Amino acid sequence: MQSFRTELENPVVEKDIIDLERKIKAFREGKIHDEKFRSLRLARGVYGQRQPGVQMVRIKLPFGKVTFKQLLRIADIADEYGSGNLHLTTRQDIQIHYVSLDRTPELWAKLEQDDITLREACGNTVRNVTASPASGIDPQEPFDVSPYAHAVFEYFLRNPICQEMGRKFKISFSSSEADTGFSYIHDLGFIPKLQGEERGFKVMMGGGLGAQPSLAHIVKEFLPEDELIPYTEAVIRVFDRYGERNNRNKARLKFLVAKIGIDEVLRLAELEKTANKVKTFKINRDAVPQPEAPEAVSNIDVTIDNPLKYEQWLATNVFEQKQTGFYGVYVKVPVGDIHTPEARKFVAGIRGLVADEIRVTQNQGLLLKYARNESLPALFNALNALQLAEPGFDSVADVTTCPGTDTCNLGISNSMTLSKVLEDVIYNEYEDLIYNRDIKIKISGCMNSCGQHGLAHIGFHGSSLKADKRVLPSVQVLLGGGTVGDGIGRAADKVIKVPAKRATDVLRSVLNDYKANAVSEETFHNYYDSKGKDYFYQLLKPLADLTTLTEEEFVDWGHEETFATAIGVGECAGVMVDLVATLLFEAEEKLGWGKDAYAESRWADAIYHSYNTFLSSAKALLLDKAVNCSTQATVIKEFDAHFVDTGLVKLPVSFNDLVLQINQNEPSEAFASAYQKSAEEFLTEMKANREALKVS
């Protein structure tokens, strides 16, 4: 396990991996509390599975971009450390399952050799920055958003302001007004705009799915490109200080917006700009160059064994790029799973026919770039040999799903098998709908919407029902969600809950009614709105009748045993740990990080570490008084009330005025030095104060 220390060229990455190795050792020795360790490993992409003793490792691929070499490296890692399967996610990541915790540092080190990271793929951090997969080749785009997504990813990776937030923070970039990046369900969503020759973005804020979906607010019609990073930093600073930290079900930005109002969030963000590391940030537009197109190949003699399927594939999975003479090719990946032998054959089959850049799509597929017209038959044959040439990408037949009960702690009922079953229904009974991209079907194993059921036209999420004192797997049916465009979207309505085995009949009922009653060329949204929610409740009500249950319906899709709910502790947002000793230890650690940043002339980073030193120290003493604060802002307020105002702690000014110097001063060397000194003195006094309290 020690060999990676000499193989890695990046000392920052090497330090990260060595730190993970040390934390695992300390955890094994009982020196780190279980829940604290959980938050540490989550921020390093290591997530506990439903199965005990093994981990899911999430690989962070900014905007879903991966090269042939990187994909082959990930396949090798999945064979050596995992189950030999690559799972593509709706956030354009790749996940490996069944990994031993003790081997994760070594795994990470081997990935980093090909510039692949796990850092902040999970936990209370800025998650993977997503973007429309077609960015760079999209005929409708004003400009390529890939360099902007890359800049945001790079700026906030390891950034002190977003390492221990109340919950995760999600950012997306759409390539055009079609909004294929789903800006309306993100904490911050960006849609490219031009004002004359000037580049900028329409900004969406406060969106999110989950059990309580919220649609984002339009907060900027045009944000100049040089303000993208400072604006995002200011919003994250506000979320870090005022966001909920105790109740994880209320800890996303959307809840802060609902609590204090969008105007107040924007006002607070404006105040934070003083403390920002940068006031403007010039984006390197060349940071993500277009890949080289493959050499033209003449005299390609290819026989197509299934001409009809080929024509369907051309119509549904292939589009002409904005670069004349080249085509983008979408690859439909069933349930987002690619086994490693298949992944290697896939790369071998497409090499020389497309450019060396693959994008993972938000519906768990892949996008290939720069295919030449004459190469399309050979490309189809190569994909078809791997069963990866099914037509209907992003159509009714392309069902999005999360892993559900296969591996996730929070899964209630199976979603992977149900996805395959529903796709079979489309291909076998509604083949004409493979051309329909107006309707999206999405499934999640629980209400948290990792499978995006909250933005589906026809959505399902796992649940359970009781009948005759027995529990059976069920699905909540949702209808009417989806993208409208240019930042406008719709959250799906919860219509009815039915036994899971009747989901196929739900699909048939809705599609049959749509085909029979929708006006010619009418969109599903217009059809749904014209009928109304109650119409669909009445339509599906017979399927919710539990007096007609069969024994088979007590067994979930893909299972043989009778259903039983077994929900574990979810880790997708980390766990907050409020142990006094741990908090004081963390305060010392953060002070040390601040000193390191100061020594490297990183004034803004040093200041933020000092800020967190203040907060951790104060929170520790408040906990000694059984005062549990849900936000950083509350910590500041309550420390004044319980310690400063009562004279237990003597400060030259209020704790509020001392700490919030951070957003009233430019991040200069002088302020960084003075602020750090104050934080160190405060920590020393709080440690002495606690010792005195323990003695008394």
As a CATH number, domain 130-275 is 3.30.413.10
The DSSP result for 624-665, as a single string, is HTT---SSHHHHHHHHIIIIITTTSS--SS-HHHHHGGGGTS
Architecture of 400-554 per CATH? 2-Layer Sandwich (3.30)
Mean pLDDT by 10-residue block, N- to C-terminus, for the chain (696 residues)? 53 81 84 73 79 87 97 96 94 94 89 87 91 98 98 95 93 98 97 97 95 94 98 98 91 96 97 95 96 87 92 98 97 96 98 97 97 96 97 96 73 84 96 94 88 94 89 94 96 95 97 94 94 97 94 86 55 46 83 95 96 94 89 96 94 96 96 97 90 60
As a CATH number, domain 580-695 is 1.20.120.330
Structure confidence at residue 694 (pLDDT): 57
Would 4-112 and 130-275 be classified into the same CATH topology?
A: no
Q: In what order do the strands lie in the sheet with 326-331?
A: 65-66, 358-360, 366-372, 326-331, 318-320
Q: Distance (Å, rounded) from C-alpha 37 to C-alpha 446?
A: 26
8 A C-beta contact, residue 65 and residue 130: no
Structure confidence at residue 565 (pLDDT): 58
Domain boundaries, given as residue ranges, for the chain: 4-112, 130-275, 307-384, 400-554, 580-695
3-state secondary structure of 86: strand
Give me 427's structure tokens.
């291909």
Percent with pLDDT over 70 in the chain? 94
Structure confidence at residue 51 (pLDDT): 80
Q: What is the pLDDT of residues 645-672, one digit of tens each?
A: 999 999 999 999 999 999 999 999 999 9
Q: What is the pLDDT of residues 278-298, one digit of tens each?
A: 999 999 999 999 999 999 887
Structure confidence at residue 13 (pLDDT): 80
- Picking from 59, 62, 73, 69, the residue whose alpha carbon sits closest to that of residue 110 is 73
Structure confidence at residue 569 (pLDDT): 46
* Backbone conformation region of residue 102, classed left if phi is above 0, alpha if psi is from -120 to 50, else beta: alpha
Q: What is the pLDDT of residues 562-573, one digit of tens each?
A: 656 554 444 444
- Picking from 463, 498, 473, the residue whose alpha carbon sits closest to that of residue 557 is 473
Q: What is the pLDDT of residues 126-181, one digit of tens each?
A: 999 999 999 999 999 999 999 999 999 999 999 999 998 999 999 999 999 999 99
Q: Distance (Å, rounded) from C-alpha 616 to C-alpha 588?
A: 9
Q: What is the mean pLDDT of the chain?
A: 91
CB 74: neighbour CB atoms within 10 A?
24
Q: H/E element holding 385?
A: none
As a CATH number, domain 307-384 is 3.30.70
| Residue 652 identity (one-letter amino acid) | P
Give me 88's structure tokens.
């593509």
Residue 493: φ, ψ to 5°: -85, 140
8 A C-beta contact, residue 318 and residue 347: no
8 A C-beta contact, residue 682 and residue 613: yes
Q: Distance (Å, rounded) from C-alpha 639 to C-alpha 23?
A: 31
* Fold annotation for 4-112: Sulfite Reductase Hemoprotein; domain 2 (3.90.480)
Angle CA 643–585–672, to nearest 5:
75
Structure confidence at residue 62 (pLDDT): 96
Sign of CA dihedral 551, 554, 558, 559: negative
Q: H/E element holding 510?
A: helix 503-517
